[in-house]
Amino acid sequence: MTPQDRVRALPIWKGVPQIAPLDGGITNQNFVVTDAQGKSVVRIGADMPEHHISRKTEMAVSRAAHAAGIAPAVRYHTYGALVIDHIAGRTLTAADLCDDAQLDLALALVMQTHRDLPRYLRGPAPLFWVFHTLRDYAATLREKGSAYLTDDLLQDAAELEGEVGAINLVFGHNDLLPANFMHDGERMWLIDWEYGGFNSPLFDLGALANAGLTHAQENRVLRTYFGAAPTADLWHRYRAMKAASALREAMWSMVQEVHSALPVDFAAYTAVNLATYRAAFDAFRHP
């Protein structure tokens, strides 16, 4: 059964559904479906243990995100298929997030996620700890015979983990790529909750910064989030998590290179994110 056949077979459509691929996904196969009720987005994808993705958890977090006013509603869920309301808007780019007005909206949504989403979450509490993820990614790459040499990266990760210090646990999105923000002309939304879980807030804030924020913008983000001028200690811990966030994206892509069948140039994506990581790690070492 093709992904389109799976979409067509879902028992929620009124009339004959019109199915169109939705470009841009680098983890799942996504479609826009139009039926007599309007438009929906369907995400087709099984559990992905190589990325610690549980579709049952994704569904629970997606529902909590909607209840908190952050994400579109879940219309239907069955294993391997998640149907959500379609948003008539556009996904953001890195350049969008580097615009102060858009950045303020994105930060407000992240703060709302950290503060409000756990009030609505049902079921087990997912946890996301980037340094465990990095170690597991390295083990996966070794098992798959990947050409990437990860020992030096793991040494860097161990140094970063030791410098993060004590954390204030919040519920993070943990995948704040620019394309996971959408704007419909009236408001911003945050989508794609596969990696949602309790984490340090510095991970999401660092991921925002990896879109290319200036030092002044990073300072404003930290001041706004924590309600005071960032101390030298906060800057140090934040830079450690910012580097870890970039390293996670690079090693995520390395794993996709050996696992994914999607028509995406993951080798190029790895190279871009490794460059982002190396710049972030250098800034951590030499602020």
Encode pLDDT of 20-40 as tens digits: 998 877 788 999 999 999 999
Closest CA to 197 of 248, 130, 109, 273: 130
Does the pTM surpass 0.85? The reply is yes
Please state the φ and ψ torsions of residue 15, each to the nearest 5 degrees. Answer: 85, -165
Encode pLDDT of 230-272 as tens digits: 999 999 999 999 999 999 999 999 999 999 988 899 999 999 9
Confidence of residue 1 (pLDDT cuts 50, 70, 90): confident
Mean pLDDT of 58-86: 96
Please, what are the domains in the chain?
Answer: 3-85 (3.30.200.20), 90-285 (3.90.1200.10)
In this prediction, residue 32 carries a pLDDT of: 96
CA 134 to chain centre: 15
